[in-house]
Structure 1
Amino acid sequence: MRDVPVPATPSPAPLPPVLRRCAPLCASLALVASCGWGTGGDGGQNGPPPGAPTGVTAEAGSATTVHVMWNAVDGVEAYEVYRGGAMVEEVPAADRMVDVTRLAPSTAYAFTVRARDADGRLGPPSREVRATTPAAVTDDSAPTRPGDTRGRAVGSRAVRLTWSAATDDRAVASYDVYQGETKVHSVGGGQTAAVVTGLRPGTRYSFTVRARDAADNVSPAGAVVRLTTPGSDDGRATAPEALRASSRHADGAHYIDLTWTPPRTDGVVTEYQIHLDGRPATSLVYGDEAPRDRAEYSFYAGRETGVTHRVRVRARLPDGTWGGFSAEREVTTGAGG
């Protein structure tokens, strides 16, 4: 879990009461939350070391490999991937994934990831994730190529690829997604879709998909998918959806309850920022159990009835950038949903 930076000292101008008093509720949530306006931290030797990578996943790619992915951490130079207590891979800051190879079949492994900054300081380890390699098989036949490969841009920084399942005389263990000649993503053998993020606006890309079996036989590439990301991003493709806001009265005070659907990405979304009346109010960083299908949050909104607020939410994507804002909702204290 990545720590949220300590908020910067606010300006002398008084803040609205609802924002001055959000801290007591933040402390009561079963997640790490930061209430404030600043971002804090100045980086380099005078700032804190990197935070722990979030959204770490591990999935067996074959009987001897495991694919490890994680969300980007700001201001790092490299990532170190550990198997148990031993470092097994070093990955440059531009990457968020690695295939750990030369593993034993039918074996359970535990992995963690640590971020390292330019001063050589290591942040804390991520949460531990586990994967079990499948049994070794005698298999000289590669899977068939994935068919019906298609794709579409979802905003200026991401594409969604789909394909039909490949076949194998044993079973397909995973699918590898290539951007040009570089592997950029991997999903389990039961999946036939992937979202690739971290792209540039107005850029032409070529993607292919290959199937892999437990014996590390790799299929020929499926049909090339060529896509151009749009030159501008309206944010809708990376925005939380179905935001709902309602007012609740308890213990003599009003609270605003929010629910939303996390955006679909190629990793786990573990951080959100809530804007209240056009300004950032609260950052939420989830731990091991980041919501996948439905997120919710509640915060103090003062004691006065009949005050109308505007609320919207955005997510920090696995590539470290902020996604688009959700639709803005209005909620009036004492008015219910």
Structure 2
Amino acid sequence: MRRVPAPTSRRTRAPGRVVALCGALALLAACGRSVADDGEGGRLPGVPTGVTAAAGSATSVHVMWNALPAASDVGGYEVYRGTTKVKAVPAREHMVDITRLSPSTTYAFTVRARGTDGRLGPRSRQVRATTPTAVAADHSAPSRPLDVRGRAVGSRAVQLSWSRSTDDRGVVSYDVHQGGTKVHSVGGSQTAAVVTGLRPGTSYAFTVRARDAADNLSAAGAAVRLTTAPGSDDGRATAPSSFRAGTHRTDGAYYLDLSWIPPRTDGAVTQYQIQLDGKPATSLVWGGTAPRGKASYSFYLGREAGAGHRVRIRAMLPDGTWGGFSPERSVTTGMPLSTRPGGDAGSPEHPTGR
């Protein structure tokens, strides 16, 4: 299965049906394949996407990736530094700190999923991170993060923010803890985070700590207590925004043109499902760098003018669960860009941030 960096405006003609474009765009749902064939009739776990690596201190790197869907029968993940396995974590986790590294050194990491039967899937794309220079005799911890705030984002996520900490040598990263467990990390230049993978209707307490290059940790900022929405939440807070749909005609055929802003997460959103006329039409996966701002995609509809269709889209979140669907748009081949009833073309745009 081949992936391309940006599946936009791919055009294939096939009369009377939506083309899945399985080979060209890795359209997983249309092809019915979320895991790889091992060549012997069995299935291997898929390739982890959205892999990132960032220095946490002069001797550690924080590696994150997007969890594979639960249906993939993943038993866990393995993280490799070069060709050496350095960490193994259970399937419920999709981030890890790699420690005991050398300062001022660039490291390359990959991630592999391990199936419940113990077999390993293909390696992810390789990512690199460079640890900062160590500072001799640095025993001063950063100041504690102040003004820590947060809000629930639907039933499965929260957004946190805080004021920047100070340090005599500089803050390298911030650690987010849920109770006594570290659940996330962001770079020292960031003062916000999105935590996903939470349970509906559940109360959580989050704290934030700053870390410098010498691995000195600040005291925890004030705890923020948040309760996620109940399970009846429709996930709209995790839906793509500014979703628009239209059609264009090329060589006598009509194509559906979509654009949207990815949902706000701290991980890369690399997979989407497009629903056409109430049924899944295709899933698409970015094999390279997924867009953080406006994304777009086109596919074949048919040759009939005046044909009406309804379309909406949702994203696979970094925790391996589907986000909410965008508002549904109606299009008619040969007609201009669609809007909501009343002329509203969508919610205000906001680029995805880390």
With normalisation by structure 2, the TM-score equals 0.86
* Structure 1 runs of 4+ with >6 Å offset: 40-46
Does the residue aligned with 2:87 lie in a helix, a strand or coil?
A: strand
Tell me if the contact between 1:2 and 1:285 (Cα under 8 Å) persists in the aligned partners.
Answer: no
Residue 283 (structure 1) aligned with residue 278 (structure 2): no
Tell me if the contact between 2:28 and 2:34 (Cα under 8 Å) persists in the aligned partners.
Answer: no
Q: Corresponding residue for 1:298?
A: 298
How far off its partner does 1:42 sit? 11
**Residue identity opposite 2:289 in structure 1:** E
Q: Corresponding residue for 2:336?
A: 336
1:203-282 to structure 2, matched below 5 A, reads 203-231=202-230, 232-282=232-282
Q: Tell me, in whole angstroms, the C-alpha distance in 2 between the residues paired with 1:299 and 1:46.
A: 31
Consecutive unaligned residues of structure 1, counting only runs of 5 or more, are 4-15
How far off its partner does 1:17 sit? 2.6
Identity %: 68
CA deviation string 1:25-71 (max 9, x = no partner)? x655xx43246375677999964100110000000000000000001
Residue 49 (structure 1) aligned with residue 48 (structure 2): no
Does the residue aligned with 2:148 lie in a helix, a strand or coil?
A: strand
Q: Tell me, in whole angstroms, the C-alpha distance in 2 between the residues paired with 1:221 and 1:130.
A: 29
Q: Tell me, in whole angstroms, the C-alpha distance in 2 between the residues paired with 1:177 and 1:23.
A: 40
Cα–Cα, structure 1 residues 39 and 278, in superposed 2: closer, same or farther, change >3 Å? farther
Q: Tell me, in whole angstroms, the C-alpha distance in 2 between the residues paired with 1:51 and 1:42.
A: 6
How far off its partner does 1:18 sit? 2.9
With normalisation by structure 1, the TM-score equals 0.91
Consecutive unaligned residues of structure 2, counting only runs of 5 or more, are 4-14, 338-354
Tell me if the contact between 2:36 and 2:45 (Cα under 8 Å) persists in the aligned partners.
Answer: no
Q: Tell me, in whole angstroms, the C-alpha distance in 2 between the residues paired with 1:71 and 1:157.
A: 16
Q: Pick one of 2, 26, 29 that aligns with 1:32.
A: 26
Does the residue aligned with 1:148 lie in a helix, a strand or coil?
A: coil
CA deviation string 1:152-180 (max 9, x = no partner)? 00010000000000000010000000000
Q: Pick one of 50, 66, 69 that aligns with 1:71.
A: 66
Does the residue aligned with 1:102 lie in a helix, a strand or coil?
A: coil
Tell me if the contact between 1:143 and 1:166 (Cα under 8 Å) persists in the aligned partners.
Answer: yes
Q: Corresponding residue for 1:175?
A: 174
How far off its partner does 1:266 sit? 2.5
1:91-130 to structure 2, matched below 5 A, reads 91-130=89-128
1:76-95 to structure 2, matched below 5 A, reads 76-95=74-93
Q: Corresponding residue for 1:23?
A: 20
Cα–Cα, structure 1 residues 23 and 202, in superposed 2: closer, same or farther, change >3 Å? closer
Q: CA RMSD in A?
A: 2.1
Q: Tell me, in whole angstroms, the C-alpha distance in 1 between the residues paired with 2:252 and 2:93.
A: 50
Cα–Cα, structure 1 residues 203 and 23, in superposed 2: closer, same or farther, change >3 Å? closer
Cα–Cα, structure 1 residues 244 and 149, in superposed 2: closer, same or farther, change >3 Å? same
Tell me if the contact between 2:55 and 2:130 (Cα under 8 Å) persists in the aligned partners.
Answer: yes
